[in-house]
């Protein structure tokens, strides 16, 4: 199995001095070897099944990001509170800490992560630790360490302990030479961000471990994810979250993308539902390891028009960030998710009007919304 390499003095210093909300420890990576083990080169796919009395034991890495807390809540309802462990390197808020098991987990510390899996008898692992697109471009060495070295640790541990592993991918896994409208599951992928490159790497490494070692690897390419209970985290699609908060707080919104920039998007409840469904899908139903999923596709201008139905006085200006605009222009405008719909019955619940209504229902204590309604 692969050996994690030392990042060198420069990267170590960077990791010690930098900060991020990626759910991994910012410490030097030591050169550590994977414990020797024999794995048959022709290992076949092995699917772990669970009865009602034998639920999976779940670990979520990078759990304090946009998706981890919501996913933990969903999984705890299904599998039991104590069967789902949320983890990160940051201190959780009180409501998160007291809602269920939480532990410190550093994906760059192979030994610590392996001990967590063994001591807690983990059978499913959701690997959410990552630096997002815009943040990654501002700190490529850190993104390389978190998104690639951390992934290697997770893959090795998952293969060694026969875990079912979920790793999210993204619209950022495509590039300017990919077909954009729609973008199929299988096509040329030449992303131009370290985030996108690391996600293509994750897709291919996961598929390789599946075919080479029998790892139960499952992956979804997420569109831009919108949720009311999280703040923007440095992604290119974060404008679609920020507009709601700014509309509520100030009535003014400055968008960093052109008004006609079309990107695929999804409400968080659909995203979490799809994630659970792909993990519960029977092995024989899956014709591939990585699937596109989609719900809607819109531009900043179209979103703003829907938001103004609730906040008519919302003032919108456009100040294009050339870095994020270039990233968005290289991404899909619309996802073809027909394989997910055919293979395991994927179906979204939220279109744009339902998304906006739900967001304002969640945030709807503001007097501006009450007056508009």
Catalytic residues: 195
Residue 202's nearest CA partner among 143, 142, 120 is 143
DSSP secondary structure code for residue 88 in this structure: E
Residue identified by tokens 């987990």 is: 105
Grouping H, G, I as helix, E, B as strand and the rest as coil, residue 247 is: helix
Q: For residues 192 and 177, what is the distance between their CA atoms, to the nearest angstrom?
A: 10
Sign of CA dihedral 26, 31, 37, 38: positive
Q: 30 Cβ partners below 8 Å, 6+ apart?
A: 4, 6
Q: Are 335 and 296 in contact (CB under 8 A)?
A: no
Residue 5's nearest CA partner among 113, 149, 110 is 149
Alpha helices in 98-238 (DSSP H): 110-119, 133-138, 140-144, 150-160, 194-213
Strands 252-255 and 263-267: unpaired
Q: How many CB atoms lie within 10 A of CB 258?
A: 15
Angle CA 78–228–278, to nearest 5: 35
Long-range contacts of 114-117 (CB under 8 A, 24+ apart): 114/157, 114/160, 116/59, 116/85, 116/87, 117/59, 117/157, 117/161, 117/163
Q: How many CB atoms lie within 10 A of CB 33?
A: 11
Residue 163, Ramachandran bin (φ over 0: left; ψ between -120 and 50: alpha; else beta): beta
Q: For residues 64 and 292, what is the distance between their CA atoms, to the nearest angstrom?
A: 24
The secondary structure of 126-142 as a DSSP string is EE-----HHHHHH-HHH
Residue 82's nearest CA partner among 46, 118, 50, 58 is 58
């Amino acid at each position: 199995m692969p050996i994690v390499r030392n990042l060198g003095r420069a990267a170590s210093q960077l990791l010690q001095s930098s900060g991020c909300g990626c759910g991994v420890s910012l410490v030097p990576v030591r050169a550590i070897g994977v414990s020797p083990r024999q794995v048959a080169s022709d290992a076949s796919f092995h699917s772990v099944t669970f009865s009602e009395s034998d639920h999976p034991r779940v670990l979520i890495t990078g759990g304090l990001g946009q998706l981890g807390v919501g996913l933990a809540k969903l999984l705890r309802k299904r599998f039991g509170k104590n069967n789902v462990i949320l983890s990160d390197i940051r201190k959780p808020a009180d409501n998160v800490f007291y809602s269920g098991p939480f532990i410190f987990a550093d994906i760059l510390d192979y030994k610590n992560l392996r001990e967590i899996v063994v001591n807690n008898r983990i059978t499913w692992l959701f690997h959410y630790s990552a630096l997002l697109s815009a943040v990654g471009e501002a700190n490529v060495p850190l993104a390389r360490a978190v998104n690639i070295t951390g992934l290697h640790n997770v893959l090795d541990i998952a293969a060694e302990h026969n875990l079912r592993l979920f790793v999210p991918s993204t619209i950022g896994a495509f590039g300017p030479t990919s077909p954009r409208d729609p973008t199929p599951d299988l096509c040329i992928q030449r992303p131009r961000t370290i985030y996108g490159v690391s996600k293509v790497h994750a897709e291919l490494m996961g598929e390789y471990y599946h075919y080479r070692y029998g790892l139960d690897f499952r992956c979804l390419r997420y569109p831009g994810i919108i949720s009311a209970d999280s703040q923007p985290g440095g992604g290119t699609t974060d404008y679609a979250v920020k507009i709601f908060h700014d509309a509520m707080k100030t009535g003014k919104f400055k968008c960093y993308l052109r008004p006609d920039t079309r990107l695929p998007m999804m409400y968080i409840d659909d995203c979490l539902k799809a994630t659970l469904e792909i993990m519960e899908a029977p092995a024989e139903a899956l014709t591939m390891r990585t699937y596109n999923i989609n719900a809607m596709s819109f531009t900043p201008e179209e979103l703003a028009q829907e938001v103004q139905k609730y906040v008519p006085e919302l003032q919108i200006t456009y100040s294009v960030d050339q870095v994020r605009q270039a990233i968005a222009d290289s991404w899909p405008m619309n996802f073809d998710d027909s394989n997910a719909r055919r293979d395991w019955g994927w179906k979204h619940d939220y279109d744009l009007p339902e998304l906006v209504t739900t967001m304002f229902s969640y945030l709807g204590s503001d007097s501006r919304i009450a007056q508009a309604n």
